A = this chain, B = another copy of it.
Amino acid sequence: MTESWLPSLLTATPEEGYALAIRLSRTGVKMTQPDAAVRERLRATYAENADSLMGASQVIAINFQTVAAANGYWRR
């Protein structure tokens, strides 16, 4: 049985939660473009476009909302 890439939304800290939000965002890209070589090629131009970078930050922000809510915002 293969290990799940997403066993839980719970993380020990907000920082780990943010890292999970990034992973969720990248997985959304992978699901549409499974070819890692193509993604790598696209990434080169992507990382040089300010609007694309802000777009990536937006997707992370949306996923971070989910992760933060799941963790009760790490309030204690």
Contacts and interface: CB of A to CB of B under 8 A. Distances in A.
Contacts of A43: 50
Contacts of A74: 8-9, 70
Q: Say what secondary structure dominates the interface of chain A.
A: helix
A76 to B, nearest CB: 10
B28 A6 contact: no
Given A29-B53, A51-B55, A68-B70, 20 more contacts: A4-B15, A6-B18, A7-B13, A8-B14, A9-B14, A10-B73, A22-B28, A24-B64, A28-B56, A28-B61, A31-B60, A32-B46, A32-B57, A33-B48, A33-B53, A38-B47, A42-B49, A42-B50, A58-B58, A61-B62
